[in-house]
């Protein structure tokens, strides 16, 4: 159904919590670049933060969208690894490619790194041009909507790698957002023994149990038994608040490992004396470019279940409705996907 002359349609973030559709010529595909026909877009909390002006990334007008999957449409000169029709997901992180961090495979540590959809135009577009090296081939078993979650999962898997999980470790995830629900599954896959989740939303805690959590605690439930102090080998703070961090430090055993993953968005107070006296290891983690191939394998093998998190789907024309719904923060809305199927394409 390829129409080489089709124009590009996009949604742009235009100002404080505002967005608008726009039509434009499609971008040229330069040497080393690939044009992707976007087929699914994950809506992320980061999109909402950017739109509200609380994140200092790019400036409007800007198409957002960094959780992306689609089909290769055109390839630029010198690109031998991709051909039209390949099903792909997009690693949105780009960097200089030449510095010490980039050459070591850590482009996320490059001082010039940035992300499509955060700093540069992202995937709220029908057609998006990206460097060929930013694409990963999708096995047939992995659908486009699921594949949008490779971006989030790769951040989570990078964190899990740093924790060096041992079989039987007692582990707790603090925070019941999408990353928390992925961390529960990855801890189990990595061999942790009892895995607990601490959160504040029953619907999500129930889902955590379905996805493998052995125990959950709802902090809002006055009858809930509080998690025991000094009991966990591993804690992942996927919430990133002063309260979640204090709780994480409290429930860790002496010598425990704490993965700091959630972002507080501001300086917060930490009881460092306890960190020292308990000899805790604190590990910060963001991206992990080298784990992408394993994430794709993990999705294909069903080691991480994504579909139960994909609770709501909208069409590309309804992007503004999808964002408004995401902003309403309904407990049941875990991951919202904007899906672009063949029928929509033919009718536009
Ligand atoms: Zn995201
Ligand atoms: Zn670099």
Q: Which residue has the tokens 């994909």?
A: 310
Determine the pLDDT at residue 145: 98
Between CA 289 and CA 33 the distance in angstroms is 19
CA 151 to ligand 1 centroid distance, Å: 7
- For the CA of 44, the nearest ligand: 1
Domains, the chain, with CATH or none: 8-149+306-347 (3.90.180.10), 153-284 (3.40.50.720)
Q: With the C-alpha atoms ordered 96, 98, 101, 102, is the resulting torsion angle positive or negative?
A: positive
- For the CA of 47, the nearest ligand: 1
Determine the pLDDT at residue 41: 98
Q: Max alpha carbon distance in the chain (Å)?
A: 66
Determine the pLDDT at residue 346: 44
CA 150 to ligand 1 centroid distance, Å: 10
CA 93 to ligand 2 centroid distance, Å: 11
Determine the pLDDT at residue 348: 41
CA 131 to ligand 2 centroid distance, Å: 15
CA 103 to ligand 2 centroid distance, Å: 7
* H or E segment and range at residue 269: none
Determine the pLDDT at residue 5: 74
Q: pLDDT tens, position by position, for the chain (348 residues)? A: 456 678 999 999 999 999 999 999 999 999 999 999 999 999 999 999 999 988 788 899 999 999 999 999 999 999 999 999 999 999 999 999 999 999 999 999 999 999 999 999 999 999 999 999 999 999 999 999 999 999 999 999 999 999 999 999 999 999 999 999 999 999 999 999 999 999 999 999 999 999 999 999 999 999 998 889 999 999 999 999 999 999 999 999 999 999 999 999 899 999 999 999 999 999 999 999 999 999 999 999 999 999 999 999 999 999 999 999 999 977 788 999 999 986 655 444
Between CA 232 and CA 98 the distance in angstroms is 41
Determine the pLDDT at residue 3: 64
- For the CA of 103, the nearest ligand: 2
Specify the pairing of strand 33-43 against strand 335-339.
antiparallel
- For the CA of 95, the nearest ligand: 2
Determine the pLDDT at residue 2: 53
126: closest CA among 39, 1, 5?
39
Between CA 141 and CA 132 the distance in angstroms is 22
Determine the pLDDT at residue 329: 77
Between CA 345 and CA 36 the distance in angstroms is 14
- Contact of 147 with 40, CB cutoff 8 Å: yes
């Amino acid at each position: 159904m390829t129409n080489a002359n089709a124009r590009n349609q996009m949604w742009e973030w235009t100002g404080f919590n505002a967005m608008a559709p726009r039509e434009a010529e499609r971008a040229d595909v330069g040497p080393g670049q690939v044009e992707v026909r976007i087929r699914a877009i994950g809506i992320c909390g980061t999109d909402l933060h950017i739109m509200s002006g609380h994140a200092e990334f790019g400036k409007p007008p800007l198409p957002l969208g960094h959780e992306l999957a689609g089909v290769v449409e055109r390839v630029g000169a010198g690109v031998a690894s991709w051909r039209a029709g390949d099903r792909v997901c997009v690693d949105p992180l780009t960097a200089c490619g030449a510095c010490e961090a980039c050459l070591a495979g850590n482009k996320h540590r490059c001082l010039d790194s940035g992300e499509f959809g955060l700093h540069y135009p992202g995937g709220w577009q029908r057609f998006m041009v990206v460097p060929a090296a930013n694409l990963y081939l999708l096995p047939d078993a992995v659908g486009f909507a699921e594949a949008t979650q490779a971006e989030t999962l790769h951040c989570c898997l990078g964190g899990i790698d740093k924790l060096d999980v041992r079989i039987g470790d007692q582990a707790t995830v603090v925070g019941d957002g999408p990353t928390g629900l992925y961390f529960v599954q990855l801890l189990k896959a990595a061999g942790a023994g009892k895995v607990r989740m601490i959160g504040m939303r029953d619907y999500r805690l129930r889902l955590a149990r379905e996805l493998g959590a052995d125990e959950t605690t709802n902090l809002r439930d006055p009858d809930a038994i509080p998690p025991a102090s000094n009991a966990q080998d591993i804690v992942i703070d996927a919430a990133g608040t002063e309260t979640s961090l204090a709780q994480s430090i409290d429930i860790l055993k002496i010598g425990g490992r704490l993965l700091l993953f959630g972002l507080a968005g501001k300086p917060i107070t930490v009881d460092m004396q306890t960190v020292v006296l308990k000899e805790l290891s604190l590990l910060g983690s963001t991206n992990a470019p080298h784990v992408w191939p394993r994430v794709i394998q993990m999705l294909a093998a069903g080691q991480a279940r994504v579909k139960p998190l994909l609770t709501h789907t909208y069409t590309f024309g309804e992007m503004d409705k999808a964002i408004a719904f995401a902003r309403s923060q309904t407990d049941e809305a875990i991951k919202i996907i904007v899906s672009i199927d063949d029928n929509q394409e033919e009718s536009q």
